[in-house]
Amino acid sequence: MPSLDIGSVKGLSETEVAEKLRTEGYNELPEPQKHGIFGIIFEVVKEPMFILLVASGLVYFVLGDVTEALMLMSFVVVIIGITVYQEQKTGRALDALRMLSSPRALVIREGKHKRIAGREVVTGDMLILVEGDRVPADAVLISANNVTVDESLLTGESIPVRKIAGTSGSHPERPGGDDLPFVWSGTLVVQGQGLAEVRSTGARTEMGKIGTVLQTVERSETRLKGEISWIVRSIAIVGIFLCSIIVVVYGLTRFNWIEGLLAGITLAMAILPEEFPVVLTVFLALGAWRISRKNVLTRQVPAIETLGSATVLCVDKTGTLTENRMTVRSFFAGGQFCDHDATGKNSVPDICHELAEFAILACKKDPFDPMEKALLQLREGDFGRTEHIHSGWELITEYPLSPELLAMSNVWRSPGGHDYIIAAKGAPEAIADLCHFDETKQQALTADINTMAVKGLRVLGVAKASFTRSDLPDGQHDFTFTFVGLVGFADPVRPQVAEAIAECRTAGIRVIMITGDYPLTAMNIAQQIGLDDSGTCITGTELDAMSEVELRKRIRSASIFARVVPEQKLRIVNALKSEGDVVAMTGDGVNDAPALKSADIGIAMGGRGTDVAREASSLVLLDDNFTSIVAAVRLGRRIFDNLKKAMAYIFSVHIPIAGMSLIPVLFNMPLVLLPIHIVFLELIIDPACSIVFESEKDEKDVMDRPPRHKDDGLFTKKILALSLLQGFVVLAVVLGVYVNALGRGLGEAEVRTLTFTTIVIANLCLILTNRSWSDTIIATVRTPNKAMRWVFAGTIIALILVLSIPVLQDLFRFGSVSFVDLLVCTLAGVGSVLWFECYKYRWGRRGETKGRD
């Protein structure tokens, strides 16, 4: 079987790539039809608020008030503009996520390995394919080493097919069948590695021809959306009932059915919380975008909801808690331990030369594995000039690592020779198995391993064999191996991991480290990062021997799992979930996919992870860094906090508006609010709830409180009670100003002016007080919020204009009022939220208010 030899491959130049992208386009299937501006406008036209506005305008036309009708229609244009802006901003955020989530490809260009987005692959590119990769384009294999591919996406056959190397001139064939040199876009490499030349991209691939659409990031249906839809439907039913009553009462008491219809429309506009679904869409889409800026890609939007509920983070040690930057630190050969000093003149002691020789021979020629890279670095210095470096030897075949045997072997042939040399490396237990160690030798080896592992080293065993027959056996066990020694690797802990672990502890989140390393190595790393290891360490062997009941009992205190294979992660996840935990699990390999899918939050590694792991996950860690996971959890809590603030504000602000639309009609008092006033208030509410609250900073205690329960909705009893109380207090204050103005004998226009001014000021104060449910306004004003500044400035300027310009006064049916009256309205609006500020201050002082829960 041809070996993978890519050292001499140069690939395309960047100039050639740019020209091919210009002439052939990107490697992507046609996107589904997007909503353009006209499509967004059409969606707005179907909204109930739009219909009510148009109905109000028509009523004013019937009444002969053309000016007010035109004003309402102009507001329609403004609302459409706001909606288009929000939709396009959301769309851009989602498009950016789609770009990030497209399959990746490792190509050779200008002789260098380069990781690119799959959409940037062009014909003629040289693809490096390894186990777990999703093939980004149709290609022909130039070199193949034990390559098998799952083509079920194209053929429906679930059994992977074997691939062989061909030539760049091979004629394309249809998918399906063994021993073909072709790989097709969307298929999955399940074993081996190969080098392939791209033949077709985009719509010209087999995938493109049959119109198959790959999985993309999209607006998923979420539990929150269901909850909000139920709230909106319930309020809408109540609103329709009240509107009908208003129309009937107004018509029967005032004998003016047209104005009664106008009053009913006004109440409908005041009650209808059309902001709820908009707010949810904006928060989740922009939340995913914000999380991506922390190097975490959201593949499934519901994960944003779940992040704040995570109680357990199960993380891989290598590459997530550590830097995945291996260096050889120690050897064990000939019964002696030797330290390795890469900077020394003779970095490999003489007694360890054979060990280093066969460790290097057991590596791939052009490896990606950090430990193999570290072993190949042994060729530097004096050792690289000895007879133990065999640059002219031919790699005949490779026996890959498998779940049953955690070791791999390379079969080499010297130039002109007929004998085969076999070099094996892997888990020391697997190497001992290959060497058929008896119990005495196994115990001695375990003691040597522990000597290295206690120093925090990751240990690999190395063995050698020779073979003279021409037909190679099917498995590694058919060779007669001799044990050569052990190699110890050090992988430094990532900076800031210890601080992130401590932050998780204060946030009520358990961190569980899962590794394939030895228990002593794992416990050494746990001590370095401050991970609680009081619950001892559970090994993969112990895990297999445990019943489900025993595992559930042990897992309550366990923080370290060592010598674990990927298939065992699924048991760990399920045991944690059965204990009521919300589990986030990291993984990077093909075999991690079941655990990632089962976890409440599956987190795939973006740097070293396979496409299969990415597709099974809900989040992708772009920099493979544990601190990014913690940052995403913090952001998830912030997003949910701000979403609750926005929803609570919407509830609160609609109560005084609806109340002042309903009460005057029921008690035969002068009408205060007309459709034009409702629209003015909506122009404050919409950007406030969707932009101001979305950009609000996180609460100071966001990571100092336990995770919220996964079944908690947006409105707990406490939040709903406080929201309603805020709204009814504002309604009482506004109603007091209204009644006082009537009692003073002011005209209807003046009464409307004072009442409306109070509502606007109270609205702005509700925004200020709901920015935080733990800090007072005095504390939050020190935290900048650009969106809030624009909303406040626009609102105050607009209010001054409608109060002072005669034409606008007439449109809003306002009258002239004194400065003292306006000052009283301002103080009344501010006073309507003072009780809540006192509440926050009191509970903040007692330390009993923890955010909003």
pLDDT of residue 810 exceeding 60? yes
- Predicted pLDDT of residue 850: 44
More confident: 68 or 198: 198
pLDDT of residue 554 exceeding 60? yes
Q: Out of 46-50, 80-84, 156-160, 500-504, pick the least confident.
A: 46-50
For 525-548, what is the mean pLDDT? Answer: 85
Q: What is the spatial distance between Cα 164 and Cα 497, in angstroms, rounded to a whole number?
A: 44
Tell me the three state secondary structure of residue 484: strand
**pLDDT-based confidence at residue 848 (cuts at 50, 70, 90):** very low
Specify the pairing of strand 482-490 against strand 327-333: antiparallel
Q: What is the spatial distance between Cα 738 and Cα 669, in angstroms, rounded to a whole number?
A: 10
For 773-801, what is the mean pLDDT? Answer: 86
pLDDT of residue 690 exceeding 80? no
**pLDDT-based confidence at residue 741 (cuts at 50, 70, 90):** very high
pLDDT of residue 478 exceeding 90? no
Q: What is the spatial distance between Cα 525 and Cα 497, in angstroms, rounded to a whole number?
A: 11
- Predicted pLDDT of residue 204: 83
Name the amino acid, one letter, at 185.
Answer: S
More confident: 246 or 309: 309
For 24-34, what is the mean pLDDT? Answer: 70
More confident: 852 or 670: 670
Q: Where are the beta strands (DSSP E) in 376-427?
A: 394-399, 407-413, 420-426
Contact in structure between 585 and 566 (CB atoms under 8 Å)? no
| Assigned token pair, 44 | 């707005």
Q: Out of 348-352, 397-401, 596-600, 845-849, pick the least confident.
A: 845-849
More confident: 66 or 199: 199
List alpha helices for 255-362, DSSP H.
257-271, 275-292, 302-307, 353-361
Q: Out of 120-134, 243-257, 716-730, pick the least confident.
A: 243-257
More confident: 173 or 441: 441
pLDDT of residue 190 exceeding 90? no
| Assigned token pair, 821 | 């009256």
Task: Give 461's strand partners.
Answer: 426, 486
pLDDT above 90 as % of the chain = 25
pLDDT tens for each residue of 441-458? 999 999 999 999 888 888
pLDDT above 70 as % of the chain = 77
Residue indicated by tokens 């990532």 = 494
pLDDT of residue 623 exceeding 70? yes
pLDDT of residue 686 exceeding 80? no
Q: What is the spatial distance between Cα 247 and Cα 213, in angstroms, rounded to a whole number?
A: 51
C-alpha distances (whole Å) from 212 to each of 185, 215, 572 are 11, 10, 35
pLDDT of residue 659 exceeding 90? no
Burial class (CB in 10 A: 0-12, 13-18, 19+), 168: exposed
pLDDT of residue 590 exceeding 80? no
Contact in structure between 7 and 105 (CB atoms under 8 Å)? no
Q: What is the spatial distance between Cα 651 and Cα 655, in angstroms, rounded to a whole number?
A: 7
Q: Out of 404-418, 546-560, 788-802, pick the least confident.
A: 404-418
| Assigned token pair, 803 | 């109060």
- Predicted pLDDT of residue 3: 45
- Predicted pLDDT of residue 1: 38
Q: Out of 149-163, 223-237, 550-564, pick the least confident.
A: 223-237
**pLDDT-based confidence at residue 829 (cuts at 50, 70, 90):** very high
- Predicted pLDDT of residue 466: 87
More confident: 814 or 615: 814
Tell me the three state secondary structure of residue 709: coil
pLDDT of residue 236 exceeding 60? yes
**pLDDT-based confidence at residue 347 (cuts at 50, 70, 90):** confident
pLDDT of residue 852 exceeding 50? no
Q: Out of 30-44, 144-158, 223-237, 564-578, pick the least confident.
A: 30-44
Q: What is the spatial distance between Cα 822 and Cα 829, in angstroms, rounded to a whole number?
A: 11
- Predicted pLDDT of residue 156: 58
pTM of the model: 0.69
For 85-102, what is the mean pLDDT? Answer: 56
**pLDDT-based confidence at residue 675 (cuts at 50, 70, 90):** confident
pLDDT of residue 94 exceeding 60? no
For 786-814, what is the mean pLDDT? Answer: 89
Chain-wide mean pLDDT for the chain?
Answer: 80
pLDDT of residue 391 exceeding 90? no
- Predicted pLDDT of residue 476: 84
The Cβ-side half-sphere exposure at 529, using a 13 Å CA radius, reads: 33
| Assigned token pair, 770 | 């709901």
Q: Out of 291-295, 551-555, 714-718, 729-733, pick the least confident.
A: 714-718
- Predicted pLDDT of residue 219: 38
Tell me the three state secondary structure of residue 329: strand
pLDDT of residue 705 exceeding 80? yes
- Taking the mean position of all CA atoms in its chain, how far away is CA 8? 39
